Amino acid sequence: MGAVAVALKERGFKVTGSDENVYPPMSTFLESKGIVLMEGYRKENIPASADAVVIGNAMKRGNPEVEAVLNRKLLYLSLPELLRNFFLRGHHNLVVTGTHGKTTTTALLAWIMEEAGRKPGYLIGGIPKNFGEGARLNDSKYFVIEGDEYDTAFFDKRSKFVHYLPELVIVNNVEFDHADIFNNIDEIKLSFRRLLNIVPQNGMVVVNGDDPNSVEVAKDCLAQMVEVGFSKNCAQRIRDVSYSSGASRFKLGEDVFEIPLVGEFNVHNAAMAATAARFYDVPTATIASAFTSFLGIARRQELRGEAGGVKVIDDFGHHPTAIAQTLQALRHRFRGQRLWAVFEPRSNTTRRAVFQQQLPEALKVADGVFISQVARIEQIPEDQRLKPERVVAAIAEAGRPAFYEQNANAIVDRIIPMLRPKDVVVVFSNGGFDNIHKKLLERLSA
């Protein structure tokens, strides 16, 4: 939202905005661009002369500004609608979707297009280190965008990605997630079918050929389609994968690539990005060069520091599949070292009991596990809540030390005496987790 606000300001619009809490770095970034921010929601925050109001998808009925917009009969838009109408129409839009791997694949593809001299616009749900910011909204012919299946706004319950006017779509994988808005996997598949139904015939769909759900949602698509994966039925087959402590090497068709990322899922992400880039005639040598110079994404297997010989890693993973894949990748990266997983159930799905059985299987890839109390637990009906104690008990039954603690401070107190040099601690959370990374490093230093 902040990046789009700045882009509109640069196009000559006068922009103001409100949020519940206003804090750096976004607040100072917006203010440096001359955008006025209001903290808290009040009907008088909306100027009398407002031409349009963009309503974020966290806003609900009862919000004083939402009610003012409706009462005053103002033009209002969701953020995806705004993107479509002001930034995406008439462009070659490359939309990267899937339950997992969207951010990394989008960043890889945007960087390939950048290295190819296309200077793409992009919008990524993370901070790609090559670019230093999550969005660039320019007048390039190409726009690379992370396509989220989450709903658009309180007044539009379709997935965000159906607004993005796709010419090319990557479908990384399709699993159940977002239990607060989807009831089952079939509803999620329907959203993906709706997206693929609007890809033009001269467009392209790049599908994970190893994932039956992805293949299924794409089967009736009228655009040309290519399956990418490890299985024999894939037109673009990934072969001869090898790992070092800091890189993965693989063959795609007859071309050999190396990426400074570890893990089978990252190899798959890179193969999807390479296949998409080929549709736009990017040379193989340029793709290979972009891969080797890729710096990664903030909060994706990111080393936050080392103290007392212990490394502390930050990762955004919260879905069981993403957690398991990240732990397996870290096993390659830190061979022979003890691996501890610290998990905060914070997403709208993992706070619920949806993954009660899957979470122990994912987390027990680690040598030891700590789980905190469910975040904002009061928002979830008691009979629907995840039971962290049961997750811990199931992991302990498998022979792994596992502990449930109420908060970050309690976890730090419990884990510090157990750690020894060469251990690796990975923290899984899609939030700040009460700055647990810093607390761990400070205590380890002491």
Q: Give mean pLDDT, residues 314-342.
A: 93
Higher pLDDT, residue 20 or 42: 42
**Predicted local confidence at residue 170, as pLDDT:** 98
27: pLDDT strictly greater than 90 = no
Q: Give mean pLDDT, residues 156-183.
A: 94
25: pLDDT strictly greater than 80 = no
Separation between Cα atoms, residue 338 and residue 428, nearest integer Å: 17
Contact 403, 370 (CB under 8 A): yes
**Predicted local confidence at residue 6, as pLDDT:** 87
197: pLDDT strictly greater than 90 = yes
Percent of the chain residues past pLDDT 70, beyond the cut = 100
Domains of the chain, each with CATH number or no CATH = 2-77 (3.40.50.720), 81-292 (3.40.1190.10), 302-445 (3.90.190.20)
**Predicted local confidence at residue 280, as pLDDT:** 98
pLDDT per position as a tens digit, 50-80: 999 999 988 999 999 999 999 999 999 999 9
Task: Classify residue 388 by burial, with Cβ atoms within 10 Å: 0-12, 13-18, 19+.
Answer: buried
Across 139-154, b (16+ Cβ under 10 Å) vs e yields ebebbbbbbbbebbbb
Per-residue confidence at 264, pLDDT binned at 50, 70, 90?
very high
Q: How many CA atoms lie within 13 A of 140 on its CB side?
A: 19
17: pLDDT strictly greater than 80 = yes
Separation between Cα atoms, residue 6 and residue 30, nearest integer Å: 7
The whole-chain average pLDDT of the chain stands at 94
pTM, rounded to two decimals: 0.87
259: pLDDT strictly greater than 80 = yes
Per-residue confidence at 432, pLDDT binned at 50, 70, 90?
confident
24: pLDDT strictly greater than 80 = no
**Predicted local confidence at residue 81, as pLDDT:** 97
Q: How many CA atoms lie within 13 A of 410 on its CB side?
A: 10
Torsion of CA 57, 7, 120, 173, to 10 degrees: -10
Residues counted in the chain: 446
Across 308-437, the runs of DSSP E, i.e. the strands, are: 310-315, 339-343, 368-371, 402-404, 424-428
Q: How many CA atoms lie within 13 A of 224 on its CB side?
A: 8
What the block records as the tokens of 268 is: 């798959």
Residue 110: name the closest of 263, 244, 277 by CA.
277
- Bridge partners of 168? 94, 204
Separation between Cα atoms, residue 42 and residue 306, nearest integer Å: 45
**Predicted local confidence at residue 23, as pLDDT:** 72
Neighbours of 220 (CB within 10 A): 9
SS3 of residue 304 by DSSP: strand
Per-residue confidence at 234, pLDDT binned at 50, 70, 90?
very high
DSSP H or E run through 111? helix 102-115
Separation between Cα atoms, residue 96 and residue 147, nearest integer Å: 5
pLDDT per position as a tens digit, 93-102: 999 999 989 9
Percent of the chain residues past pLDDT 90, beyond the cut = 81
